[in-house]
Amino acid sequence: MAKKKTDKQLWEDWNEFRENTRRATPIDLNETAIEKAKRIKALESDDEAWFKYYFPNFYSSEPADFHKKSTKLVMNTMELYLIRSWSRELAKSARTMMETLKLALTGKKKNILLVSSSYDNAVRLLLPYKNILESNQRIINDYGEQQSIGKWETGEFTTKGGVSFRALGAGQSPRGTRNDAARPDLILIDDIDTDEECRNPERIRNKMKWIEEALIPTRSISNALMIIVCGNIIAKFCCITELAKKADKHEIVNIRDKDNVSTWPQKNTEENIDRVLDSISYNSAQKEYFNNPVQEGDVFKKVVFDRVPILRSCERVLVYADPATSNKDKGNASTKGIGVIGYKAGKYYLYKVWLDTMRNSKFVDALFEAYQFLITEGVDIKRLYVENNSLQDPFYEQVIIPLIRQKEREKGMTIPLTPDTRKKPEKFYRIEGTLEPIHRNGSLIFNIKEQKNPHMERMEQQMLGVSATAKMMDGPDLLEGGVWLIQNSIATSNNTYTVGFRTSQKY
């Protein structure tokens, strides 16, 4: 664990920050008053140009469309309640700071509160504002000296232009927070949730009560109030989820978009994102970068890993694949999964799984790998099922089948594929109803030899994260599909005295 920095070290860090800010913002000493006034007017008419000029050390990458769209909303809507659940590395706090300082320096906001989970954290977040106003040469040159005498403390200060800033920790009394006659007109809430507090719903409810009964009522009813909340969804029940119920807008922007590409490619490359995500657990990645906190143990407290019988000795064996949701995914990466499932003596075994965000061509490659796995393991009758409900049918026929045919021609072989056209109930209730009973009695076993395989690791994490509100259950979903087919086959054979699956299947 990293050692906590001493006061001296922190002081040295901030001195360095101030010096870097000063050096990064040189001014033109030969500029005339007319040229200066014209330049300032042009910058103030263009938010992005303003940010880029005054904050070159923060504005290091060109903004994404979501940045510009959100800023336009903020700069043109003085009465606003906005929540920014932007992933880590998407500059939510930095952009909010640039917007806030422009609103303050151009006279649109006068009394600013910065609120966080604790007073110390609020002070830490407010320090860049203070140091920028002290040392940013371009701001000082264009808007005048900001540091005032006698009203310039670490957690509370007022500029010479009369704009006040105050740090406030959750639970502290905000009463009396005035700047002359002006009540707070901009409340910034940043990093309000903590992991520890989110484990105790009562603490979240108490904090919400403070926000709604003490913090927000410091406003003036007759004057516009802007509230900007910066925070990710780190738990299923947290301040962010509750504040979102009252907000005018809740912006959820993940590190990657629905097509699995970087939402800010100008800064975060695919390779860099992959490197970061590969270095942390699935659960951590979902919480920190995808606003999808995984609450372990809602249905499955633990996944059972054990030795599995020889695959060809199983009474039933199948491969079950889930390609995508609909035709709209054509050509794009989405979460897909394929599992090899066996049944023997009342137990269900997951031998191998391919579970990841992958393009359609890679999914088809994995499908053929699964078929080859059956061959290698000496399975006599090979059955491969692909989920194909009414929503997926166009996608299956127009995208998946042509890719499979092409692959078959390349390999000179045909795979025995059967579409699973079952009309399925809602995903969570299917998974819970089919898998939980056999898991509870110890009859759902995962191959221990595959435990360290990243695909199986993702499968384990998704199993542990199964809940009614979970966003990622593609692995458990495909497992449920395969287990259901096996169970249905057993029931059919028991009723008709037919042993095993049908040997002739329609493709």
pLDDT (tens digit per residue) in 172-218:
988 766 666 589 999 999 999 998 899 888 999 999 999 999 999 99
pLDDT band per the 50, 70, 90 thresholds, residue 43: very high
Concatenated DSSP letters of 173-225: --TT--BTTBPP-EEEEES---HHHHT-HHHHHHHHHHIIIIIGGGS-SSS--
How much is the pTM?
0.71
The ranges of the chain annotated as CATH 3.40.50.300 are 10-256
Q: Is the pLDDT of residue 15 over 80?
A: no
pLDDT band per the 50, 70, 90 thresholds, residue 278: confident
Q: Which percentage of the chain shows pLDDT scores above 70?
A: 88
Residue type, 499: V
Give the pLDDT mean for 378-384. Answer: 93
Give the pLDDT mean for 287-297. Answer: 83
The C-alpha atoms of residue 87 and residue 427 are separated, in whole angstroms, by 27
Q: Which of 56-70, 241-255, 442-456, 465-479 has the lowest mean pLDDT?
A: 465-479
Angle at the Cα of 358 from the Cα atoms of 354 and 359, rounded to 5 degrees? 130
Q: pLDDT tens digits for 57-66?
A: 999 999 999 9
**Residue 382, SS3 per DSSP:** coil
Q: Which of 4-8, 70-74, 210-214, 429-433 has the lowest mean pLDDT?
A: 4-8
Q: Tokens representing 360?
A: 């359609």
Q: Is the pLDDT of residue 74 over 90?
A: yes
Q: Which comes out higher in pLDDT, residue 160 or 180? A: 160
Q: Is the pLDDT of residue 502 over 70?
A: no
The C-alpha atoms of residue 100 and residue 252 are separated, in whole angstroms, by 20
Give how far the C-alpha of residue 269 lies from the chain's centroid of Cα atoms, to the nearest Å.
Answer: 16
Q: Is the pLDDT of residue 325 over 60?
A: no
Q: Quick one: CA dihedral 70, 71, 72, 78, positive or negative?
A: positive
pLDDT recorded at residue 171: 92
Give the pLDDT mean for 337-344. Answer: 97
- Given a contact cutoff of 8 angstroms between Cβ atoms, the answer to whether 316 and 342 are in contact is yes
Q: Tokens representing 386?
A: 């692909």
Q: Is the pLDDT of residue 333 over 60?
A: no
pLDDT recorded at residue 65: 97
Q: Tokens representing 419?
A: 């579409």
- Given a contact cutoff of 8 angstroms between Cβ atoms, the answer to whether 24 and 52 are in contact is no
Q: Tokens representing 319?
A: 């491969």
CATH code for the domain defined by 10-256: 3.40.50.300
In CATH terms, the superfamily for domain 305-496 is: DNA-packaging terminase, C-terminal nuclease domain (3.30.420.320)
**Residue 456, SS3 per DSSP:** helix
The C-alpha atoms of residue 149 and residue 154 are separated, in whole angstroms, by 13
Angle at the Cα of 105 from the Cα atoms of 103 and 106, rounded to 5 degrees? 65
Which positions ≥6 away from 333 have C-beta within 8 Å? Answer: 259, 260, 261, 357, 358, 359
The ranges of the chain annotated as CATH 3.30.420.320 are 305-496
pLDDT band per the 50, 70, 90 thresholds, residue 228: very high
